[in-house]
Structures are given as C-alpha cells and as structure tokens.
C-alpha cells in the first residue's frame, strides 16, 4: 500500500490517521456555505448574527429579509398584515342529533315548523272561528258588526308570533272563503269581499303577523313593563292595519269618501282598546306558563 504524505503506513492506526488527513484536506477546498436568510431576522432592517456568535460564516454577512414590515396605524402596532376571516361551520342533521344526545349546545335555530307548531296553528284558527260565531253588535248604517274576532286575532299574534299567527288567521280566512260559515253572522264565500266588511277580513292575517313581529321584539328585549309594550304593539297593529284597511274597504265597497268612512270606523276604536287589553292579559299569562311558545331558546 502506498504511504500518505511521504510516510509509510504503520498498521490500522496509521491508515485511519491518513484517511482523516485526506478528508480534512478535501473539505478545506470546498466553498463556504452561505448563511440562512431566516435566522435572526428583524423587521425592515438589515440583520446580522448576534454578536456573541463565534461562527466565521456570519462575520460581515448582512442579509435583507423578504418579509414586508408590519403596518402601523396611528401609534398602534398590529401583529399581522393579513386579516383573519372567521370560518362558519355548518352542522349537519347527524351532528345536531349527536350534539343534542350529548347535551351540547347548538347555535342553529329550527326554521321548519314542527307538529306542535301545526297543532297551535289549527287550535288558534278554530279559536278565531269560534269567536266569529258569537253574535256581533251592528254599528252604524252600514251594519258592520263589533265581534270578538279582533280579540282572537290579536291574541294569535301575541302568542304565536308573526309566521304562525299569520298562518292561523290566514287559515281561518281561507276556510271562510271556501264556504264554511265562520265569518260574522254565519256568512261565508267570496261574496263577502263585496261587502263593507271586506277590508277588515283581509286585514286580519296581516294584523296578526304585525302584532306577532312586534311581540317577539318585546319578548326578546324587554323585561319591565312588558304588558304595556305588548298592548302598544297590539294597538299599533290594530290601528295601522285593521282600521286602515277597514276604512279603505268601506270607501271601495260602500262608495264613501274618506271623512265618512273614517267616522264610520271610529265606533270600533273603544271596543278594540278593551279587546286588546284582554288579549294582552291572556298572552302574558300564557308566556309565563310557557316561556318558549313565542321565542324559542336554544338549550
């Protein structure tokens, strides 16, 4: 075997020493690697290796990093130049059932009506029909009667809310149009649309929806004087919807001008005050007994 560096090899130890010397000689001729650019970075400045480093690789080397400086806003320093977008997760029916089984809370609200909702709609539609069967008191020369329908219409909105209240009273109106004698005085059919009472009948479902919407707002946002706010909601819906469309119906079907139609509608206002008070008293009692009947709370 040939000797290394002019010396003759002396067994295995000499071979290992000679191999190590050859490796050191070969490595000394290799180029020095460039330092990494992601070590010791500083925002917006030329950065160097810390002073206590003894590595020859970092002596005199300056690196400009490619990360842009963070934005500054009127003395406030933000920690990210990117805005975080919240991700909204959608819970499937299986996940919702599993969460309900394990007792976890879900933030999704039920949008479809259940069998209980359909039952309440049917019950209140029957209640409105039963109140219309009670004999009314004719008022004025036009013979538009004062009935208990306004009471049950307002009660439907105060208890069921906008959607179900509209459905309950709308079901009553549709059944009357279909031929069931459930309008005041035992009347039925589409012929009632040609009478002075047409405006009031058309207004009943809309008034229930308006009252239900306002009642839901009151239930969610108020604690004190709730009965007073519910009465205000019922009166606003009664005047804005029922009386306005009632006056319009008398103007169209009875050929009255606005002053005469307005005067013909005035006798119904005191009765509506009393009926709305009764509706609010009943609705407050129902909400105390069944807190979730109008505003459902996620458990």
pLDDT tens for 61-82 read 444 444 455 455 555 444 444 4
Instruction: Cite the beta strand spans of the chain per DSSP E.
Output: 46-47, 63-64, 72-73, 76-77, 137-139, 144-146
Average the pLDDT over 230-246 and give the result: 94
Residue 298 predicted with pLDDT over 70: no
pTM of the model: 0.61
pLDDT for the residue numbered 109: 41
pLDDT for the residue numbered 44: 46
Long-range (24+ apart) CB contacts under 8 A made by 108-111 are 108/298, 109/296, 109/298, 110/296
pLDDT for the residue numbered 88: 46
- What is the C-alpha separation between 239 and 220, in angstroms, rounded? 24
Where is pLDDT greater, at 2 or 292?
Answer: 292
Q: How confident is the model at residue 120 (pLDDT cuts 50, 70, 90)?
A: very high
pLDDT for the residue numbered 140: 63
Instruction: Report how far apart, in Å, the C-alpha atoms of 39 and of each of 36, 42, 43, 47, 65 are.
Output: 6, 9, 12, 9, 10
Domains of the chain: 35-69 (no CATH), 115-289 (1.10.1760.20)
Where is pLDDT greater, at 167 or 293?
Answer: 167
Q: How confident is the model at residue 46 (pLDDT cuts 50, 70, 90)?
A: very low
**Segment 183-212, tens digit of pLDDT:** 988 888 999 999 988 999 999 999 999 999
**Segment 260-280, tens digit of pLDDT:** 999 988 988 988 999 999 999
Q: How confident is the model at residue 158 (pLDDT cuts 50, 70, 90)?
A: very high
* Closest to 204 measured CA to CA, from 160, 233, 251, 171: 171
Mean pLDDT: which of 38-52, 90-104, 106-120 is highest? 106-120
Q: How confident is the model at residue 91 (pLDDT cuts 50, 70, 90)?
A: very low
pLDDT for the residue numbered 262: 92
Mean pLDDT of the chain: 75
pLDDT for the residue numbered 251: 93
pLDDT for the residue numbered 93: 43
* Closest to 125 measured CA to CA, from 50, 51, 204, 186: 204
């Amino acid at each position: 075997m040939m000797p290394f560096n002019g010396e003759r090899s002396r067994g295995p130890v000499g071979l290992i020493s000679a191999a190590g010397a050859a490796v050191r000689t070969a490595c000394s001729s290799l180029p020095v690697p460039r330092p990494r650019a992601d070590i010791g970075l500083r925002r917006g400045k030329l950065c160097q290796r810390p002073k206590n480093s003894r590595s020859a690789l970092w002596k005199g080397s300056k690196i400009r990093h490619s990360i842009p400086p963070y934005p500054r806003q009127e003395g406030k320093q933000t920690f990210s130049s990117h805005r975080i977008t919240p991700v909204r997760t959608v819970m499937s029916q299986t996940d919702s059932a599993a969460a309900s089984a394990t007792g976890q809370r879900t933030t999704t609200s039920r949008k479809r009506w259940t069998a209980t909702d359909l039952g309440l709609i049917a019950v209140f539609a029957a209640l409105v029909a039963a109140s219309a069967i009670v004999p009314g008191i004719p008022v004025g020369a036009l013979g538009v009667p004062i009935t208990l329908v306004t009471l049950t219409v307002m009660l439907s909105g105060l208890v069921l809310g906008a959607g179900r209240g509209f459905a309950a009273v709308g079901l009553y109106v549709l059944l009357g149009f279909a031929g069931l004698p459930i309008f005041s005085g035992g009347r039925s059919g589409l012929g009632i649309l040609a009478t002075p009472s047409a405006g009031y009948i058309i207004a009943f479902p809309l008034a229930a929806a308006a009252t239900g919407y306002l009642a839901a707002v009151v239930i969610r946002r108020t604690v004190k004087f709730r009965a007073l706010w519910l009465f205000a909601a019922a009166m606003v819906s009664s005047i804005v919807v029922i009386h306005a469309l009632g006056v319009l119906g008398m103007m169209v079907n009875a050929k009255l001008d606005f002053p005469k139609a307005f005067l013909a509608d005035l006798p119904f206002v005191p009765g509506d005050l009393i009926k709305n008070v009764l509706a609010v008293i009943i609705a407050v009692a129902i909400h105390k007994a069944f807190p979730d009947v109008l505003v459902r709370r996620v458990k």
